[in-house]
Each structure stands twice: as C-alpha cells, then as structure tokens.
Amino acid sequence: MALDMLLSRNAGVLAVIAATGLTLTSIPAAAHAEHVAVSRRAADPGAEAAGGPAADRLADRTGREVAGAGAPALPTGVSARAWTVTDVRTGDVLAARNAHQRLAPASTLKTLFAVTVLPKFRAGAVHKVTPQDLTGIGPGSSLVGIQEGRSYRVADLWRGVFLRSGNDAVRVLAAMNGGWSATAREMQARARQLGARDTSVKSPDGYDSPGQVSSAYDLSVFGRAGLANADFARYCATTTARFPSRGSPSFEIQNTNRMLSGASGMRRYPGIVGVKNGYTSNAGNTLIAAAERGGRTLLVTVLNPQSGASNAVYQEAASLLDWGFRAAGKARPVGSLQAAAAPGGRAAPSADGARSGAGHRSATGRPVAAEVSREPGRWSETALWAVAGGFAVALAVGAVFGWRMYVRGRRTSGDGS
C-alpha cells in the first residue's frame, strides 16, 4: 500500500512536470511565430495596409486625422483629402489622414518612375530622340520641349522630368527602358517591392488613366526611397537649369514646385529639399515635399486640397512641415513606412549649368523589423528555448525515475507484497 501511494504521488509529480514542460516548450514556438510575423511585415510592409493581420492604423478612411500621443495640436485648415507627415531617416509617420485612400496621383507618380528607371542610365549617356519615342503623349500634358531627331544627355532628360514635369522627357526615358508598357509593369513591381500596396500604375508619367491610383502612404514611400539616391536628391532640389534647344544653345527652365522656387506668390520654404508636385483635372493638386531643419529631414505628402485657395497644396504642405518639426522627438509615431532605403551618401553637387540648393545627404532608413528578443520586458527567444530545454531535460529525468519506480513496484508485487 505504501508503495502504491508513493507511485501515485510520483505519477502526479510527473504529470505536473510533463504538463509544465510541454507548455513551456510551446512558448518559444509562439515567440518564433511572432518573430516571423514581424519579419514578414518588415519584408512586405504593405501587407498590413492591404488588410492583413494587425491592420495598419493608418488605413483609416473616415477622414479622421491621427497624431501620436505627446504631439502638439495639428494645424487647422488642412483641407487635403489625404496627407502624411514622415521622418525620412526613420520612416516613422508622425501624423496622417486617410493615408491609404486610393486617389489619382498626377505627376507625383514620377517619383516612382525615377526610383525605378533613374539608376539604369549614366547621366552622361546620350540618346537621339525618334518619332516613336514621343508617340502617345496625352493632350494637355506638361512638356519640357523635347525635339525629334535631337540628341539629349540623360541628365538633361531627368531635369526635364523633375523641373518641368515633362511628359515628353518621361516618354523618351521609358523608350530607352524598353517601352511604355514594360516600364509601367516594372514600376508596379518596384512599388510592391517597396511595400506600396495602394498603387496601380497605368501611365508612368502620372497622366490620368482609368484605374491609375496611389495613396499618401505609397507616395511617401516613393519620395523617401528617391531621397536615398544621391542623383534623385540632386535633381529634385534643382531650382533652375539650362535645357538644350535646336534654335539656340539652351534655354532656362524653372522648377514648377513653388515651395522650392518661391514663385507665384509662394516664398521658398526654409530648408526645402524638393521633391515633386503634380496636377491633373482628376487628381487636383498633389505634392510630395521634403525639408531639412536641425539635422532632421521631414517629408509630407498632400493630395487634392478641397479649400479652393490659391497655392493651397503648398500652403498646407508648409503648415504640416512646420507642425512636424515642432512634433519631432515629442510625438509617438502612428505608423511607419517600413520601406528599405538605398545606401546613404552625400548628394553630388549640381553641375551642367544647374542651380540648386545646398547639397543634401541622401536619406538612410533604419531596418524596421522589430527585434522581439530585445524589446523591454520580454524574454529573448534564445532564453525561452534554454528554459524549455531545461524543462525537457527535467521531464526526461522524471520519466526515467518514474519507470524505475514502476519496475520496482512490479517486482515487489510479484514477490507477494
């Protein structure tokens, strides 16, 4: 009887050990699953925006403005249908409204075109324009004045894209890149690679086309990715440049971004970096603008202001940048672009007759993947596996001990006890 009680007691202990060991063994699996999920979100940051698990808080489409705790009051009078304020270095979104609402982007989509195509051709490479290169330009398009039969350096073509928003320059560069449709497909793939899930590319120049949309979130991703490229950063900061002409050596072109040029009733925004403005009848006024102050670079995207005021897109962008610089370091981010930036470096000085602002550092983005094992108050995955391993060993020892007790009990019972 005493032996039966001992065996029963040991069985209970062994059951507790087994249950504890199995439970704790599952903990690192759960931690691993969480780590994998976070890593997947970092590798494919648009998944949350697309409505995946733990949906992005920026996906709100109710028109509500969101800003992190501790932030100063958001500026009043911002009438844009959608906007974001982002820290370029970290990718943190400080505030937003309708960040994932899909809207026509107009020429701000040229940022994605540049991110996709600009790295492929040397600035000094020369291309002779054919009639086929300029086929299909939409009526009413903004043009820089590309002429058939004339040869242009790639740098001239990019200044035509960034300063004059020339759809003719985009057509020529797209032709060099394999054609209009191929470039659109490549831009679509690049958008997905960057985690931009709201964008559908139909016309690489941003011209209104059925089904062509993007979002404040995606355009911010493209602007941030572009600023990580020194050539992009230089072109988008250029205020005026000389452009080749058949009738004369060259003529001057000016950037249509009024925050950069200080034209048409706007003052040049202090610390302005660029990036790209746009307008179509369907999209209204659109703008991606970046500025640097106190060693911090912020980027705002403003889509389709509804106030009807002159220069509204620029004024609203300026007020959001002002707010962002006040809020930086105080406000908890409401989300992240989670987009990988290219390796950093200082932008090359402007050349070839181009006049631009001071040189800008290319933006560098930190990896956004959360390191679960290093978050305050959490055990690392390694530690959890070590604990589980210890309990597994204890479980095995207990099982051996129990088996030995069981065998002893059987022998004793066989002896007539």
Q: Hey, which residues are catalytic here?
A: 107, 110, 165
Say if CB 159 and CB 354 are below 8 A apart: yes
Other Cβ atoms less than 10 A from the Cβ of 305: the count is: 24
- CA separation (Å) from 261 to 161, 240, 267? 16, 8, 8
Q: What is the DSSP letter of 410?
A: H
Say if CB 95 and CB 323 are below 8 A apart: yes
Which two structure tokens, joined as six digits, stand for 265?
Answer: 């009733």
349 vs 371: CA distance, rounded Å: 38
Q: What are phi and psi of 311, to 5 degrees?
A: 65, 20
Query: What is the full DSSP assignment across 154-213?
Result: HHHHHHHHHHH--HHHHHHHHHHTT-HHHHHHHHHHHHHHTT--S-B-S-TT----TT-B
Q: What are phi and psi of 307, to 5 degrees?
A: -70, -30
